[in-house]
Amino acid sequence: MKRMRKVILLIPAAREYDRGILRGINEYAQIHGPWIFYAEPPPYLCAPGQDQHLVHRRAWQADGIIAHQSNSTEVRALRLPTVLLCSTHHLPPKTCQLQSDNETIGQMAADHLLGLGLKHLAYCGLAGMEWSSLRGKAFAQRAMKARIKADLYTPPTPRSGESWYTGEQHLGDWLASLPRPVGLMACNDDRARMVAEICRLREIRVPDDISIMGVDNDEHVCNLAHPPLSSVALATERAGYEAAALLDKLLSGRRIDSKIILAYPIRVISRQSTDLIAIKDAPLVKAVRFIRENSNRVIQVQDVATTAGLSRRVLQDRFRNALGRTVLEEIHHSRIQCISRMLADTDLTVSAIASAIGYEAAYHLARFFAQRTGMTPSEYRRRHRAIGVT
């Protein structure tokens, strides 16, 4: 019989990112356990002014720890095998850690907003947060490739004890100064909701004046905003599962190939805050919507031209001028999005997906997908799908 693992979990469950990580850890424990978890008591059970956490944690006689980086000082004092959820890259090289793939997150958000036909982009981050800066940098670089200079918000440095809303006036003035229409990425859903609230107070229309999107796909936060917020969903359950597997290897003395686990972005979950195609050309809007609504079947450039009521040449010229890409590139992009959703959200085989969307054989789908993503469908599925889909 396998020895029971005793694992300390110091991960808050207030945000969807952390809850996803916890679900993944629990899933690993259910499959590979038995594990027992020790966690902090809820705040209402903690006596004010008493800080005996370290004493209590030693009494647990745990085998290992998975903890948020904010607890790293106390965690190191326990001298146990540890995996840290990190928001910074400036950790000792031997630290086992879980990070967000901030570069790809920023790129994916920029691609989504550029795909709406927007010619102005902006990024709203948080001061002093390395992960926020990395997302903003990647977002701006992807915009630059499309020959668009992204406006980056520089928040005032908060002073000790200041409220989350202290910078509201400064942020509101910046939002009002942006050219319109503009696509705005916020560093996470909480920041995106704050931006949406300020837009309502300033009578800035969303999405007509500003299309807003966040990161984490926290449905509570996204749907609390008006209108509901689009967001980049992350494979947090997969990352939590892999973090638990990494800790298990540490405890077993097994070989570790990599000490860094990445929470990859899966895709953008579109809601009303980006429900916009910022193109004044009505036939072109019709063409773009036709492509996106038919991403699950084989369509040709001529089908799009017929729907738009334009010749192929005129349609191609208008696509290049408005979106910076060809009609076929837009078809392929929408096709990739469709395949990615099915790989991440269903248990259909690659052959079944190929058949469902009009490919004669799985090989053709796999080659098409790999050429445009750099991954085979199986590799993409392992990296991005939810743990519960097997």
Token readout for 278 is 């910022």
Q: Which CATH class is domain 102-233+268-274?
A: alpha beta
Task: Return the pLDDT at 310.
Answer: 94
Residue ranges covered by each domain of the chain: 5-100+236-264, 102-233+268-274, 282-384
Q: Are strands 260-263 and 230-234 parallel, antiparallel or unpaired?
A: unpaired
State which residues of the chain have pLDDT below 70: 1-2, 43, 45-56, 88-93, 158-166, 385-390
Interhelix angle 301-308/327-345, rounded to 10 degrees, is 110
At a CB cut-off of 8 Å and minimum separation 6, what does 147 contact? 324
Architecture of domain 5-100+236-264: 3-Layer(aba) Sandwich (3.40)
CA separation for the pair 341, 389 (Å, rounded): 12
Token readout for 48 is 């004010």
In the beta sheet, which residues pair with residue 234? 265
* Collapsed DSSP state (helix, strand, coil) of residue 55: helix
Task: Return the pLDDT at 220.
Answer: 94
Residue 69's nearest CA partner among 53, 86, 83, 57 is 86
Residue 43 has a CB neighbour count (10 Å cut-off) of: 7
CA separation for the pair 271, 289 (Å, rounded): 15
On the question of a common fold for 5-100+236-264 and 102-233+268-274, the answer reads yes
Residue 176's nearest CA partner among 213, 147, 151, 149 is 151
Q: pLDDT (tens digit, 9 = 90+) per residue, 188-241?
A: 999 999 999 999 999 999 999 999 999 999 999 999 999 999 999 999 999 999
Taking CB atoms within 8 Å and a gap of at least 24, the contacts of 354-357 are 356/296, 357/296, 357/297, 357/298
Token readout for 68 is 């948020």
Domain 282-384 has CATH 1.10.10.60: yes
Written as one string, the DSSP assignment of 117-163 is: T-S-EEEE--TT-HHHHHHHHHHHHHHHHTT-PPEE--PPPPPTT--
Task: Return the pLDDT at 89.
Answer: 65
